[in-house]
């Protein structure tokens, strides 16, 4: 049986810089990333690709606000923004990866699964929304939206006011069975985009309902990797390795660490809250639920990392060396 990997790709990785933010620009960035994932697949891996969507949701919200102001159009609910970006990014990934397989003469099918992720409506995050989304507003605009639309708003680091939403913990991936069957049948699957579309149970009506929230992509990807018993959980990010004292003169790259070492470095404050911390926490979750090995590296180094030449491997206690 082939080895299964869940590969989490950051939404920011599709935007190289401020001069390359268009949809064609993002597609070309996807083309580069998919080449490295295709290499991995050619070496025998079956892959589920997950991805972030922060910048892309931000663009939709900006267009939504502009449409409201200029044309009086309805705004787009946040859960629909998540669905929109899952489809659009999934399409870019499908195109890029399918074309790469064609170029290599490889008969491999790629499919995107629009994925809902269940959260608990009583999660403490709903009482303390902290995730800024959408455009900057004046204080007056923000307070007006709070009164009229029930938004939670806050001043954001002196740059203006923004809407803030909850970031609850993922509890279940509703399309998990479909994702697992597809990948084990040989499809490359793109799923759990943006951490999944957040939904919750309305028990008295026996229905599932979307909500205005943002689920951490790495946490949702970790949950999927654990539940389908993936052989590898790989987080593709902007750096080839994880570092201690990152950006300082005494920064130190980490090649291979255990879960206990990862927890120790986390407690010592080595990992920034908005960048590396959730990735480390996601790897720890996966490994503590029985996962085999986790890897953090950049897209262009995936091949070398799988050969043990770079990347940061995080493993259970007393684990043998990577043998992929």
**Active centre residues (catalytic):** 11-12, 131, 217, 279
Is residue 113 within 8 A of residue 196, CB to CB? The reply is no
**Residue 125 parent element (H or E):** none
Instruction: Give the up-direction half-sphere exposure of residue 23: CA atoms within 13 A in the CB hemisphere.
Output: 9
The Cα 53–Cα 87 span in angstroms is 11
Is residue 197 within 8 A of residue 184, CB to CB? The reply is no
Is residue 57 within 8 A of residue 67, CB to CB? The reply is no
The Cα 252–Cα 255 span in angstroms is 10
| Structure-block tokens of residue 294 | 């986790």
Closest Cα partner for 300 from 232, 234, 238?
A: 238
DSSP 3-state assignment of 260? helix
Closest Cα partner for 168 from 115, 225, 223, 213?
A: 213
Q: Residues near 72 by Cβ (< 8 Å), separated by ≥ 6?
A: none
The Cα 2–Cα 37 span in angstroms is 15
The Cα 229–Cα 289 span in angstroms is 9
Q: Which residues pair with 231 in a beta bridge?
A: none
Is residue 57 within 8 A of residue 81, CB to CB? The reply is yes
């Amino acid at each position: 049986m082939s080895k299964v990997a869940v590969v989490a790709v950051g939404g920011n990785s599709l935007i190289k810089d401020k001069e390359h933010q268009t949809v064609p620009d993002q597609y070309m960035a996807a083309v580069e990333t998919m080449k490295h994932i295709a290499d991995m697949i050619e070496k025998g891996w079956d892959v589920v690709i997950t991805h972030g969507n922060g910048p892309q949701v931000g663009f939709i919200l900006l267009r939504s606000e502009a449409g409201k102001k200029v044309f009086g159009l309805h705004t787009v609910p946040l859960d629909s923004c998540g669905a929109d970006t899952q489809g659009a990014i999934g399409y870019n990934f499908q195109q890029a990866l399918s074309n790469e397989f064609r170029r290599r003469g490889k008969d491999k099918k790629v499919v995107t699964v629009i994925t809902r992720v269940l959260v608990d409506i009583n999660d403490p995050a709903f009482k303390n929304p902290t995730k800024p989304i959408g455009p900057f507003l004046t204080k007056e605009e923000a307070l007006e939206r709070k009164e009229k639309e029930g938004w939670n708003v806050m001043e954001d680091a002196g740059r203006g006011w923004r809407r803030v939403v909850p970031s609850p913990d993922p509890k279940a991936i509703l399309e998990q069975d479909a994702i697992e069957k597809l990948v084990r049948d040989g499809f490359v699957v793109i799923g759990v985009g943006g951490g999944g579309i957040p939904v919750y149970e309305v028990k008295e009506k026996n229905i599932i309902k979307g909500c205005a929230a943002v689920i951490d992509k790495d946490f949702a990807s970790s949950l999927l990797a654990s539940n389908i018993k993936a052989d590898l959980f790989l987080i593709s990010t902007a750096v080839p390795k994880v570092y201690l004292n990152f950006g300082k003169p005494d920064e130190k790259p980490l090649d291979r660490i255990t879960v206990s070492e990862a927890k120790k470095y986390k407690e010592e404050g080595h990992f920034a809250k908005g960048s590396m911390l959730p990735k480390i926490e996601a790897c720890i979750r996966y490994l503590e639920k029985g996962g085999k090995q986790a890897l953090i590296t950049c897209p262009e180094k995936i091949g070398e990392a799988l050969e043990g030449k770079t990347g940061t491997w995080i493993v259970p206690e007393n684990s043998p060396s990577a043998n992929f």
